[in-house]
Amino acid sequence: MNDKSIAGLSLVLAALLSASAGAADLAQQDRPEYLARPAVAAHALAPTRQQVLAEYEAAVRAGSLVADDTGQSLRERNPGRYPDPVDGHAKTRAQVISEYEEAVRAGDIVTGDSGRKLKELYPPRYPSRRTG
């Protein structure tokens, strides 16, 4: 090999190295943040075993797991076994207490094993309300 071919080979090698470094930088920029970091950092962002188990148990309770190859969830296959999904409009503690106190005043509380309300068991204690 002569000096010219060694110089040419060096230039080609330098060009390839700089191109591959630039491509690596571009690939690094397109990755999500957890993949752009070293493997130790990506592992630190992964959920813990307890978090995974809690999410799984919540999905089982809600019936949101896929039942089989049909793609239906357990809730869709057997809706009677699962509670209705929460609509996200939860009541405050004060609202719940207020509703409970109103039910007590009106006698709308079920008592004992009979399944009857207090106003049905003791009508004189809870006079019927008139509208109008």
Domain ranges of the chain: 1-39, 47-88, 93-125
pLDDT at 102: 93
∠ CA 16-18-23 to the nearest 5 degrees?
95
Q: Which of 11-20, 81-90, 101-110 has the highest mean pLDDT?
A: 101-110
Q: Which of 50-54, 61-65, 73-77 has the highest mean pLDDT?
A: 50-54
> What is the greatest pairwise CA distance in the chain?
116
Mean pLDDT for 50-60 is 89
Contacts of 59 (CB under 8 A, 6+ apart): 65
pLDDT at 76: 87
pTM metric for this prediction: 0.34
Mean pLDDT for 19-24 is 54
Burial label, 64 (beta-carbon count in 10 A; 0-12, 13-18, 19+): middle
CA-CA distance, 102 to 128, in Å (whole number)? Answer: 14
Is the per-residue pLDDT at 19 higher than 90? no
Return the closest-CA partner of residue 83 out of 73, 91, 75. 75
